[in-house]
Amino acid sequence: MALRPRFGLARLSAAATVALLNMSLVLALGALVAAPLGRDALSTAVVAAFVAVTLGGFIVAVVARAPGDVTGLASSTTVIYAALGADLAARAGSQVNLPQVWAALSLAVVIMGILVAAAGWLRLAEAVKFIPAPVSAGFVTGIGLLVIWSQLGPLLGLDGRLSGYDWSRLVHEIKPASLAVGLATAAVIWGYAKVVKWGQPALAAVVIGTSLHYLIQWLAGPEHLGPTLGAIAPAAMAGVTVAMWGQVSLPWLLSTAVYVFPYAAFLALQSIMNGAVTSVALASITGERSDINRTLKAQGLVNILCGGFGALPITTVTTLSLSAARLKGMGPGVVPVACIILVVAVLVAGDLLARIPVAVLAGILVMGGAGMIDAWARGLVRRVVRGQGTDIHTVWNLLTVAAVAAAFFFGSVPLALFVGAVLAMILLVMNLASATTFGSQDAANLQSTRVWSSEQVQWLQPRRASVRIFRPRGGLFFGTADQLATQLAALGPETRYCVLDLARLTTLDATGSQILAAGARKLAAAGIVTVVAGLDASRPREQALIALGLNAPDPASHWFADLDHALEWIETRIVKERWPELSPETEVRLAETPLGRGLSAAEIDELRAFLACREVEAGPLFVRGDPGSAMYVIDQGSVEIRVRDRESGNSTRLAAFGPGGIFGEIAMLTSEQRTADAVCVTPTRLHELRREGLRELAERSPRLYAKILENLNLHLADRLVIATGIVRAQQ
């Protein structure tokens, strides 16, 4: 990409800064990859890192055109790549075939690229937000710990990983001066931002750590220090690349692809997470939201290319991108120019780079690994230590983080994925179980909206306590359903009816369905009638529950759409114990209704003169908004008062009246419009008292008029008491 005249000094400075920051990552992470493969792999790994950052970063920047997004080597993905290298090296035994191991690593990068590109085409970047926080924190923490462990050997001045040495002789191999250089480098990283407000900590750490290394070498001699990076030889990488593809056969390719696939999948997942998180953060800085899916497609295709060349996997570098976005002069073309500057720097200053001590890079990586230990997890640890967060959920979240991190550190990516999935499922079950409550009450203060006669109410009231209502909220599955079944089994002989109000459940699985059905059968054997409220057996969802095992109590006769209808069914059964002939066809004498309460036979006959008899078929009697010109007394049949939602079309039952019930009196007395619908559930015979008739009654018989008003007032007071009790019982 040619520099144009408008590419000013500010942008050139920003590009140089990005190149220098990238250089420190290339050197450090290249050394990290080489650590498990031996000293001979160091030059190859560093060159592979440079190829990935320069060639790959340049192509992605040009294609994706994401403002501020820097694609290169990230610790989070490189350590997974290094872990795969360590796994392959351990599998190979004492004789590591570097070309063959590198071919397997490159195959993982190719598979990663395919997965990342597919995620971009399928627009799956948003899906990463569904990864449970403890699992994600465990992976990140495990990566950080693995970075620290992999650098302990170079930090102590050893040549290679710490695990490659005989522990009995390890103390004699350690070089304290090299440890001092590494710790000094780490200290610069830690304290730089606290003292200096400009510049880059990593670059300052390289300069100070390298200077200290050569000062010690001048004073005490090189034998007290560890190795330096060594010559950067592109030819070495080219030789490995040619050799590795020369050893590939179709059977080896298939078997190796299966082996490295879990690592490649996690590399892809981490890359997608890096891109998604960085995209959101950059948008808040630059004010411009990039197309993350376009970036993922570009990164996926470039990783396929990098794998073919034997280069390292690339992804969005979050820390570098956020730092670059804040640079003065950052804009289009800066990242590609930074890649060009980096190539020139390697070609011109390759000998200087070769003199950088490995301990310096180890110090930088150790601080990077420490910073990767999840901040949220560290906060939970502090709360537990201070005694502020010792509840089971806090402890289990910490255990999940620790277990996933340990599985990644001591095992492998597949093991960590398995452990994370299992623990996340257990944590989900615990959270759902804690969110599930099992409220229960008897029906002494809770009744249906069905209006019964005063004599029937007196019969019902002492018997309502024999009705037990369970109202679970949340999820009902194998853990919580068993708790409910235990409560059902504890019901005593004083209980005759059990209502399971499932309207507020969010989850009911197959195990929960079968446990509830088994509980209902046990209650039936004990003589307790169980009904279900909140389920409609005609709907597909409830039919699925029946198929899963919720076939008791009988869905056809003992399931009700809501608690109100379930309680009415039970109340009807209890009332029929005293009045077995009770049915909607039963006629009720006017003197037995609330309107005729306390009236003599002569007064009843006088009242009839002001009432009109109406025969109404099943269907609407009046609807909301109609003039409230009359009230009604049911002689035969049943009527429901309903409120209809105008948007959804669904209706809610406010009251139900059988023979002897009265309704419509409020609108008649207040001369207001109807506030709800009245629907005759069955063919109904009504006594109608119109407002004009009530006025005429007041003129002709003031004494009877006063009694009628008193009865209406008592009736309304009774309705208010009942409604208040229902509201309180449902809270």
| pLDDT at 554 (0 to 100) | 93
For residue 343, is it left (φ>0), alpha (ψ between -120 and 50) or beta? alpha
pLDDT at 529 over 90: yes
Per-residue tokens: 561:
């759409």
Name the strands in the sheet holding 612-616, side by side, starting at the edge strand that comes first in the sequence: 612-616, 684-690, 630-636, 662-663
At residue 496, the pLDDT reads: 94
pLDDT tops 80 at residue 696: yes
Q: Which of 217-231, 493-507, 526-540 has the lowest mean pLDDT?
A: 217-231
Given a contact cutoff of 8 angstroms between Cβ atoms, the answer to whether 31 and 350 are in contact is no
165: pLDDT confidence band, cut at 50, 70 and 90? low
Q: For residue 507, report the phi and psi dihedrals to the nearest 5 degrees.
A: -140, 135
DSSP collapsed to 3 states, 661-720 = CEECHHHHHHCCECCCEEEECCCEEEEEEEHHHHHHHHHHCHHHHHHHHHHHHHHHHHHH
The pLDDT-based confidence of 679 (bands split at 50, 70, 90) is very high
Q: What is the pLDDT confidence band of residue 13, given thresholds at 50, 70 and 90?
A: low
Best-predicted range by mean pLDDT among 165-174, 509-518, 722-731? 509-518
Write down the pLDDT at residue 3: 41
Domain spanning 436-578: CATH 3.30.750.24: yes
The string of pLDDT tens digits covering residues 486-521 is 889 899 889 999 999 998 888 888 888 898 999 999
pLDDT of residue 111: 95
Residue 406 has pLDDT above 60, yes or no: yes
> Does the structure show a pLDDT above 70 at 126?
no
Q: How far is CA 262 from CA 79, 80, 323, in A?
A: 14, 11, 32
Dihedral sign, Cα of residue 16, residue 17, residue 18, residue 24: positive
Q: Residue 603 half-sphere exposure, CB side, CA atoms within 13 Å? A: 15
Write out pLDDT tens, residues 627-654. 989 999 998 889 999 888 777 677 888 8
Predicted local distance difference test score (pLDDT) of residue 129: 54
Which residues make Cβ contacts (< 8 Å) with residue 185, sequence separation at least 6? 205, 206, 208, 209, 359, 360, 362, 363, 364
Q: pLDDT per residue over 591-616, tens digit each?
A: 888 888 889 999 999 999 999 999 99
Return d(Cα 365, Cα 151) in angstroms, integer. 7
CB 310 within 8 A of CB 89: no
Confidence of residue 327 (pLDDT cuts 50, 70, 90): low
Checking if the pLDDT of 704 tops 90, the result is yes
User: How far is it between the farthest Cα atoms of the chain?
Assistant: 128
User: Percent of the chain, pLDDT > 70?
Assistant: 83
* pLDDT score at 390: 61
Q: Supply φ then ψ for residue 474, to 5 degrees.
A: 105, -135
- The pLDDT of residue 495 is 93
What pLDDT does 212 receive?
Answer: 92
pLDDT at residue 152 greater than cutoff 60: yes
Phi (first) and psi of residue 559, to 5 degrees: -110, 140
Res. 163 pLDDT band, cuts 50 70 90:
low
Correct CATH for 590-730 of 3.40.50.1370, 2.60.120.620, 3.40.50.720, 2.60.120.10: 2.60.120.10
Q: Please report which confidence band the pLDDT of residue 2 belongs to, taking 50, 70 and 90 as the band edges.
A: very low
> Do the Cβ atoms of 413 and 83 come closer than 8 Å?
yes
Single pTM value for the model:
0.57
Mean pLDDT (the chain) is 81
Is pLDDT of 337 > 90?
Answer: no
Residue with the bigger pLDDT between 119 and 154: it is 119
Give the model's pLDDT for residue 108.
Answer: 93
Does residue 1 have a pLDDT over 50?
A: no
4 pLDDT tier (thresholds 50, 70, 90)? very low
Q: Is the peptide bond before 493 cis (omega within 30 degrees of 0)?
A: no
Query: Which segment, 213-217, 245-249, 433-437, is predicted with the most confidence on average?
Result: 213-217
Express each pLDDT in 308-319 by its tens digit: 888 889 998 876
Residues of the chain with pLDDT > 90, as a percent, come to: 22
Measure the CA–CA gap between 36 and 78, rounded to whole angstroms: 13
Cα distances (angstroms) measured from residue 6 to each of 69, 329, 333: 21, 12, 11
pLDDT mean over 477-484 = 78
Q: Which of 140, 64, 133, 44 is nearest to 315 (CA)?
A: 64
Range from 66-70, 237-241, 649-653 carrying the lowest mean pLDDT: 237-241
pLDDT at residue 48, as a whole number: 83
d(CA 268, CA 341): 28
pLDDT band at 5 (very low <50, low <70, confident <90, very high): very low
pLDDT of residue 21 exceeding 90, the answer is no
Closest listed residue to residue 244, CA positions, set 138, 340, 152, 108: 108
pLDDT higher than threshold 70 for residue 78: yes
Which tens digit of pLDDT belongs to each residue from 539-576? 888 888 888 889 999 999 999 988 888 998 999 999 99
Q: What is the mean pLDDT of residues 297-302?
A: 92
Domain spans, the chain: 9-373, 377-435, 436-578, 590-730
Give me the amino acid identity at 625. Answer: G
Which of these ranges, 79-88, 313-322, 426-435, has the smallest mean pLDDT? 426-435
Higher-confidence residue of 73 and 235: namely 73
Roughly what angle, to the nearest 10 degrees, separates helices 392-406 and 413-435? Answer: 170
Count of residues in the chain? 731
pLDDT at residue 398 in the model: 83
Mean pLDDT (whole number) for 77-98: 78
Using a 10 angstrom Cβ sphere, with 0-12 exposed, 13-18 middle and 19 or more buried, the burial of residue 581 is: exposed
> Which one-letter amino acid corresponds to residue 599?
L
> Are 487 and 468 a contacting pair, CB within 8 Å?
no
Confidence of residue 271 (pLDDT cuts 50, 70, 90): confident
Is residue 729 predicted with pLDDT exceeding 60? no
Q: What is the pLDDT of residue 134?
A: 80
In this structure, of 63-77, 214-228, 384-398, 460-474, the range with the lowest mean pLDDT score is 384-398
Q: What is the pLDDT of residue 730?
A: 52
Residue 685 has pLDDT above 50, yes or no: yes
The pLDDT value recorded for residue 112 is: 94
Highest mean pLDDT among 181-195, 587-601, 612-626: 612-626
Q: Is the pLDDT of residue 389 over 60?
A: no
Residue with the larger pLDDT of the pair 208 and 145: 208
